[in-house]
Structure 1
């Protein structure tokens, strides 16, 4: 018995050590579960050499203290509140009924993933995701836990959406900095300046670099490029040769939303405009994996599945779920809350190959030494949310599912608000979170 107990303790210690090591990279895949936990700050840091993403500015919202989370199935408290309110019985409409049915289908999957996360990863969060307002802003086991203060917008930080509407917009230019605090140096000759809007700007160096625009400094990860424009100018990213196209595309549309519009958080886009995105033309000749972020509104889900994906030529392959958790490991809101679920959906689909693959091989991930790699369905990705509508970087978790991996990963993010190393980003504010104030020196 003692030997068996020692063996179990040894296994538990080994698992705990593996979790801590994985947390250093920012991605912990839960063994035996269709789930993973991500610290987006550490994932993004891989694109920079001399700087880190500031944790206190990434995790800007109040998801850091314990919340009282009802035990699933224990509805006594909720029932008591309902009796006190004496609300009339509400009958959901057809769309709400479908949305609730979808929720019930995935509810047990999310609970199982969250339970595994709380047992294996949550105990280490305080040690590895730490917030501090000193210069050295990276979490370390030696630091104490502090709740981040509400960040302030740096004076003079550009608002790209407002700027694009001005008549002076064509006059704004962006250029590399030769140095910044002695940390950066351009290996190539001075590239001069480039128009900020409607022009592709690229950091072709294998190191991160700083750029300047309108008196503000921005940090660009290695081998990244971006285009700030409206949809009609997106054609600039369509490759002349389809073999140079993108095989992994992440799309995060500014869906029409009354709450967002009322709070003026960001400009939204009518759904019909999304139909004109040249997703098919942007794709690689061997096909592409397309990931579409979507809210829990059934109207949008139906539109994406029945109109948007078909218009793009994408076939739906799987649905993933981003479960938002606090630094204590709890969900940010009760799982069964009617109008504010603690998760968002990610629809995953494939663009077909343009090179004439057999019908059996079309629309599937590439093959490896073990045989066909299947894209998992109902996968649960957990993380602490960042700023409003800021999604976790998917590069590290989706790259292994791109079609025909021999060409390597060629990533594109549409409606981006930050840059990823090695990727191309497009939108009306892809530099939103690249301002130097979102970083600190290593």
Structure 2
């Protein structure tokens, strides 16, 4: 890597996104990307990267034993034959394996050597992740680490009585706006000029500039459907709480049966000129098949590309071996287009127009980043906005099943403020 390219990479790292030239990939540092949405606060690195992917983990490859293990009684290996779905999943993996390896090798050669310098702690006591004081008024609601458990709170009969009060972005600001809003089933918009603080009891949540959010269950998502489709969304990111045994066992968050996803009003939420839809999905072949053959058709979305989120440590290594059978170091993002609602007379012509106009959307694109908390995805706004249909229109972004807010976007879910508590931020 020459000095000129090194300087470019350092500048891009400051902004949070580094293009991996010629390798159909990009490295993202989510904290720096998220910070652009706030004017007086920054996301704490140690709260975002709470999964401790800060050191390389040496994992022996399949079939290799540690020294001294030959003295132990060896068990005869059981021959395991892959079932039909596992064969399909393995075939998909082999198709993209070389693409992921190529992007990772380029990342290690260019970005990884400088990475640790851009993920920093300032040494203060509040930088060390530790349990925070609970909100005394909410302790009986299953609240942990000083955060409101919105899912449990919404289930109470008193839920319609809870409200947010708002103040300017300064945490200790004495001049507060006399504005209160019901917490649930209400579309809430933040200031367009500065970030705001939403307070519930003793708990404070930081809102980025120009964001909109709705806290509700799936039965109320129709509140976001615009009266005029010209006010609809042209970029939608969807991260469903897929049913998962591990998530259920650890009680990380409520999951949702697939059949409920079919009824999401994605088509009604879309802009008149169409929309780009991005769907996060696990590596389970059953879910991939469901998304491609049932979910996208039910929403009216035509498949356009598949991206891969490769998870790495701060040292640049993959978080697990690439060929590990059940724990791949990457997740999939399915991308498709909803066609324009204007000037189309048949289903066939609509879908042809939608796919031809956006041939610049790359396929088998690799997004590399260090993963944050469980199920927390890297922000996609900067990568996808240039691919929205109808470029003459301003970006109108929507995230469904959101767990954090984005500046300028609308977010919906039963806990879109999950990572907005002031514990996750520090003042600049």
In structure 2, the residue matched to 1:406 is: 392
In structure 2, the residue matched to 1:281 is: 268
In structure 2, the residue matched to 1:311 is: 298
For each residue in 1:130-157, what CA deviation from the matched residue of structure 2 results, as whole angstroms up to 9, or x when unmatched? 23452897xxxxxxxxxxx544354222
Aligned ranges 1:189-208 → 2 under 5 Å: 190=177, 192-208=179-195
For each residue in 1:391-414, what CA deviation from the matched residue of structure 2 results, as whole angstroms up to 9, or x when unmatched? 000001111110011111100000
Q: In structure 1, what is the Cα distance between the partners aligned to 2:174 and 2:243?
A: 40
| C-alpha displacement of 1:165 | 1.0
Quickly say closer, same or farther: Cα 1:305–1:191, change in 2 above 3 A.
farther
Q: Which runs of 5+ in 1 are unaligned?
A: 1-10, 138-148, 367-371
In structure 2, the residue matched to 1:134 is: 124
Contact 1:174 1:195 in 2 (8 A): yes
- 2:142 equivalent to 1:155: no
Q: Please, which of 317, 327, 339 is the counterpart of residue 326 of structure 2? A: 339
Q: In structure 1, what is the Cα distance between the partners aligned to 2:62 and 2:371?
A: 27
- 2:14 equivalent to 1:24: yes
| C-alpha displacement of 1:170 | 1.1
- 2:90 equivalent to 1:90: no
Q: Please, which of 343, 348, 353 is the counterpart of residue 362 of structure 1? A: 353
Contact 2:302 2:351 in 1 (8 A): no
Q: In structure 1, what is the Cα distance between the partners aligned to 2:8 and 2:18?
A: 9
Aligned ranges 1:42-441 → 2 under 5 Å: 42-68=32-58, 77=64, 84-134=74-124, 149-156=128-135, 157-178=147-168, 180-182=170-172, 190=177, 192-356=179-343, 362-364=353-355, 374-441=360-427
| C-alpha displacement of 1:290 | 0.2
For each residue in 1:84-131, what CA deviation from the matched residue of structure 2 results, as whole angstroms up to 9, or x when unmatched? 442211001000010000000000000000000000000001111123
Higher mean displacement: 174-183 or 400-409: 174-183
Contact 1:245 1:410 in 2 (8 A): yes
Q: In structure 2, what is the Cα distance between the partners aligned to 1:51 and 1:411?
A: 23
Q: In structure 2, what is the Cα distance between the partners aligned to 1:254 and 1:412?
A: 17
Q: In structure 1, what is the Cα distance between the partners aligned to 2:411 and 2:399?
A: 5
Task: Tell me the SS of whatever aligns to 1:316.
Answer: strand
Higher mean displacement: 77-86 or 192-201: 77-86
Q: TM-score, normalised by structure 2?
A: 0.91
Q: TM-score, normalised by structure 1?
A: 0.88
Higher mean displacement: 339-348 or 84-93: 84-93
For each residue in 1:207-247, what CA deviation from the matched residue of structure 2 results, as whole angstroms up to 9, or x when unmatched? 11111113211110000010000112111100000000000
Task: Tell me the SS of whatever aligns to 2:334.
Answer: strand
Q: In structure 2, what is the Cα distance between the partners aligned to 1:110 and 1:88?
A: 30
Quickly say closer, same or farther: Cα 1:154–1:113, change in 2 above 3 A.
farther
Q: In structure 2, what is the Cα distance between the partners aligned to 1:184 and 1:115?
A: 52
Instruction: Give me the CA root mean square deviation.
Output: 2.3
Contact 1:247 1:409 in 2 (8 A): yes
| C-alpha displacement of 1:67 | 1.9
Contact 2:339 2:350 in 1 (8 A): no
Count of residue pairs the alignment pairs up: 410
